Amino acid sequence: MPVWQALYEELGSEGFVPITVALDRTEDVRSYIEASGATHPSLIDESHRTAELFHIVNVPTLIWIDEAGMICRPHDSQYATDTFTAFHKKLSGPYLDMIRAWVRTGAGAMTPEEIRAHQPTPDDDAQLARVERAVAWHLLSDGRADTAEPHFARACELAPKDWTIQRGSMPLRGGNPFGPEFFALAEQGKFDYALEAITPTHAPEEGE
């Protein structure tokens, strides 16, 4: 992603590193990553390990982690560019400025209480859905697509609003994540993170 690479070149010497994680098959992101020219860690998470660990339910999801390895801003749903701003109504520029301020002054980090209030909350069905998805992915990557399919289906039943499962499994199940099934999903109402960092109507105050 050229924007994160540019930000890394700008802020890397000030102790900042972006780590991009693709919740995808390698083959689906290979050309994209090659074209990005990333020198920061640009990783591939076929098994959705980070989605499991951080309870990530949609993309893009951005999480700020401080020097001590503590989360200091959870699960922002933000974009590096304004390509889809008409759809999600979020501007990228103010968010990139927030990151610059955080790196340089620590501003923008939230208190532990604020972070906990904004974290998405897993439940039993969500956790079982992750296990079903793990079984499905294991079988699929073992060449057993037919055996994997009922596990994908069960995962989707259990976590109807988790887009890493619902939409993320479309290409794995022979579907089209940009086709009619995506728009049907969008109409059902997607999972919304509590934290909406920046919208056109809520730009950060100076120094926020």
Q: 135 to 194, contacts with another protein by CB under 8 A?
A: 135, 138-139, 144, 147, 151, 164, 167-168, 170-171, 177-178
Q: Which of 121, 183, 187, 201 binds another protein (CB under 8 A)?
A: 121
Is 71 in contact with 63 (CB distance < 8 Å)? yes
Query: Which span sits near another protein by CB under 8 A: 85-93, 119-127, 186-194, 199-207?
Result: 119-127
Q: Which of 2, 6, 9, 60 binds another protein (CB under 8 A)?
A: 60
Under the binding rule (CB under 8 A), the answer on residue 123 touching another protein is yes
Give every CB contact of residue 52 below 8 A, 6+ residues apart in sequence: 130, 134
From CA 192, how far away is CA 161, in angstroms rounded? Answer: 9
Is 95 in contact with 76 (CB distance < 8 Å)? yes
Helix/strand/coil for 43: strand
Under the binding rule (CB under 8 A), the answer on residue 15 touching another protein is yes
Q: Which of 37, 68, 184, 188 binds another protein (CB under 8 A)?
A: 68
Query: Which span sits near another protein by CB under 8 A: 83-91, 124-132, 187-195, 198-206?
Result: 124-132
From CA 113, how far away is CA 90, in angstroms rounded? Answer: 25
